[in-house]
Amino acid sequence: MKITVLGSGHSGGTPMIGEGWGNADPKNPKNYRTRPSILVENAKTRILIDTSPDLRFQLLSANIDRIDAVFYTHGHADHLNGIDDLRAINRVMNDWIPAYTNPQTWADIVKRFNYVLEPLKSETNFFYKPCLKRYDINVGQQFKIGAFNIGVMDQDHGFMRTLGYRIDNFAYSTDVVDLPEESFEMLNGVNTWMVGALWEDPHTTHAHVSKVIDWAERVEPQRLILTHLSHRIDYESLSKRLPEFAELAYDGMIINV
Ligand SMILES: [Zn+2]
């Protein structure tokens, strides 16, 4: 399977409006970070996790115009608000896109983007809006998309819960400050784990770098990839200080698992 990091940044992106590049060296392209989305694919099936506000730019950069399923981790703007860019995928595929998340996130989507679930007007024959087919999933659930085995993990994001996804030997856990025991169990034996780490100091809703390293020492993935990075993180200087199994994500990064 192949993972593509479409966006490795936090909600503000790097550079961030009003705060610029922070600690990040503007000369290093790996410090230019758009908002979080990733692709997970094999030869037959392609899954998009989250529709970042930068989705149009991200899908053009990765040359993607077909998606078999969209998964949502939660309804915060940096993970959801690019939803309208899915219309272009509907047009290319001439079909509705299956979308998966929990009832709580569906409630957010219905409240803010209810038109994505509404039928097309009968007098039209083209996708003038994004069209998603709703599938409800819940924590602890296991299901299949193509040949992929999917597991849905519960995550604590401070004031709300988010979903983590295990996809075969890969797992994606972003926007998480604590993990319940059952989620550690689902991570058992994972080869590559991509985890959100905002910056190096503790935060109320996001894990910080050393906390994620501690988790990984318990989960023992072969590769730990830190993502959802803020402008306070400089790729080069932090990379040098990470343990051997850990690395930083960057936009356009491709990982073969
Ligand atoms: Zn986020």
Q: Does domain 2-138+151-256 have CATH number 3.10.350.10?
A: no
Q: Where are the domains of the chain?
A: 2-138+151-256
Measure 255 CA to ligand 1 centroid, in angstroms: 21
Measure 52 CA to ligand 1 centroid, in angstroms: 9
Q: Is 212 helix (H, G, I), strand (E, B) or coil?
A: helix
Is 124's pLDDT higher than 90? Answer: no
CA–CA distances in Å: residue 86 to residues 58, 64, 107, 131, 169:
12, 11, 19, 8, 27
Both tokens assigned to 1: 């399977």
The percent of residues above 70 in pLDDT, for the chain, comes to 100
Measure 214 CA to ligand 1 centroid, in angstroms: 21
Q: How confident is the model at residue 203 (pLDDT cuts 50, 70, 90)?
A: very high
Measure 9 CA to ligand 1 centroid, in angstroms: 8
Please state, as a whole number, how many other Cβ atoms lie within 10 Å of the Cβ of residue 23: 15
Query: For tokens 């966006």, what's the residue?
Result: 7
In this prediction, residue 80 carries a pLDDT of 98
Q: pLDDT of 68-90, one tens digit each?
A: 999 999 999 999 999 999 999 99
Q: How confident is the model at residue 149 (pLDDT cuts 50, 70, 90)?
A: very high
Distance CA 63, CA 175 (A): 27
CA proximity to 227, closest of 173, 160, 183: 173
Distance CA 94, CA 83 (A): 17
The pLDDT mean for the chain works out to 97
Measure 197 CA to ligand 1 centroid, in angstroms: 10
Measure 195 CA to ligand 1 centroid, in angstroms: 11
Which run of H or of E encompasses 226? strand 223-227
Measure 93 CA to ligand 1 centroid, in angstroms: 28
Measure 228 CA to ligand 1 centroid, in angstroms: 7
What pTM was computed for the model? 0.97
Measure 122 CA to ligand 1 centroid, in angstroms: 37
Is 125's pLDDT higher than 90? Answer: no
Residues 6+ apart with CB under 8 A from 229: 8, 9, 10, 14, 33, 197, 198, 199, 248, 249
